[in-house]
Amino acid sequence: MPLLVMKFGGTSVADLDRIANAAAKVKREVERGYDVIVIVSAMSGKTNELVGWVEQTSPLYDAREYDAVVSSGENVTAGLMALRLQEMGVPARSWQGWQVPINTTSAHSAARFVSIPRDNIDAKFSEGMKVAVVAGFQGLSPEGRITTLGRGGSDTTAVAFAAAFGAERCDIYTDVDGVYTTDPRISSKARKLDKIAFEEMLELASLGAKVLQTRSVELAMRYNVRLRVLSSFEDTDENSGTLVCGEEEIMESKVVSGVAYSRDEAKITLFTIEDRPGVAQAIFGPLSEAGVNVDMIVQNISEKDYDERHPGAVTDMTFSCPINQVARAQKALEEAKAEGKIRYDELIIDTDVAKVSVVGIGMRSHAGVAARMFESLAAENINIKVIATSEIKISVLIDRKYMELAVQALHDAFELEKTA
């Protein structure tokens, strides 16, 4: 039988009625001739509740027991989904991570996949089971302990199963009906994409789009797993949603496919640092050790000389990072200065910024994207603080108050509301 993987997020299984709705979608795929592996998240809000219970019980908790508690939400959903399918006449069985087993590393709350053996589930399919309902977000460490995979773990679980079982496709059911050219809440002209390339989706996910988690897209691209994003709350068919696939499946791409944004950004500048080999490592090494995710980086080259306190040339270094990592970054830099690893005169933090990006595989073969982007921002009197580019992306850091205006201006400038 052809195999399909279907993943339902927390809002899609938030209560018994929604579990029944999801089960009906699974039954329809079984009737179309598929064996199905269903990956489920915990019911909406349940994981946060479980985390809260752990933190109230033991603020300095044992990570192994944290995973044992927090993973239980998915187990409940898996059992309820299997029961609902059985009531509908569909042969189904629930599977917890250890029963498959989903083998992971020992990094509790941030585990990585090692292997997903097929034998146990394949044996049940051969005996007549039509649906395996697997608890997402969890696995089994080499020590035999339950692990969890961190944020987006259920999406990643679904892609990993699709790769391991050679699924025809992995359908991600969520509360939106696909991937849009930008956030429809910001631009009324936002258009749902029929297809988007893995690389584009990966950039959009990493730049702030919330539809898919970055790890799941990375895994799908590595193993060429075709993903489809579609709504749990609408009637769907084989043409619904957005297909995330290889570039070769997209006949002709627009130069820019989407505009992404992130409002939770901060800009940090070190003034008057030494302009010498190794200074970047002296700055970003401690930041890396502190777990700070540095994004955009700009170094200003200066012809000015230090005064008698600092013989040599000076420069300034600016970088961006998530706003919730600012305190960690500041502490790491101040400690590095106190230890004599780096010298700077001033550290300035700006937490009132946002990142706006344009993404498109068509940028590889078309010139003038940056010029059009900067022209459209200038026309709205939006000042650019930092610029970063890749082969298929241009990102700018701007004042946060202009973020929505920038998104709308760029969406209009590249005419993303048009299909061609």
Phi, psi of 200 (to 5 degrees): -65, -45
Q: Which residue has the higher pLDDT, 213 or 355?
A: 355
Round the average pLDDT of the chain to a whole number and report it: 91
Q: What is the pLDDT of residues 92-127, one digit of tens each?
A: 999 999 999 999 999 999 999 999 999 999 999 999
Q: How confident is the model over 128-151, as a mean pLDDT? A: 95
Confidence at residue 302, expressed as pLDDT on a 0 to 100 scale: 55
The fraction of the chain above a pLDDT of 90, given in percent, is: 73
Task: Print burial letters for 325-353: b (CB count within 10 Å at least 16), e (below 16).
Answer: bbeebbebbeebbeeeebbbeeeeebeeb
Instruction: Report the phi/psi class of residue 223: left, alpha or beta, with left for phi > 0 and alpha for psi in -120 to 50.
Output: alpha
Put the strands of the sheet holding 258-274 in their side by side order.
297-305, 313-322, 258-274, 346-359, 393-399, 386-390
Q: How confident is the model over 23-31, as a mean pLDDT? A: 96
Residues 6+ apart with CB under 8 A from 107: 147
How far is the C-alpha of 201 from the C-alpha of 390, rounded, in Å?
A: 14
The residues with which 95 forms a beta bridge, in sequence order, are 134
Distances (CA, A) of 198 to 120, 126, 150, 228, 391: 31, 33, 22, 11, 14
Q: Which residue has the higher pLDDT, 159 or 151?
A: 159
How far is the C-alpha of 8 from the C-alpha of 174, rounded, in Å?
A: 6
Whether residue 306 is predicted with pLDDT greater than 60 in this model: the reply is no
The DSSP code for 192 is: B
Q: How confident is the model over 251-261, as a mean pLDDT? A: 84
Q: How confident is the model over 64-85, as a mean pLDDT? A: 96
Q: How confident is the model over 141-148, as a mean pLDDT? A: 96
Q: How confident is the model over 8-22, as a mean pLDDT? A: 95
- pTM for this predicted structure: 0.84
Confidence at residue 91, expressed as pLDDT on a 0 to 100 scale: 97
**Structure token digits, residue 19:** 């579990």
How far is the C-alpha of 265 from the C-alpha of 324, rounded, in Å?
A: 8
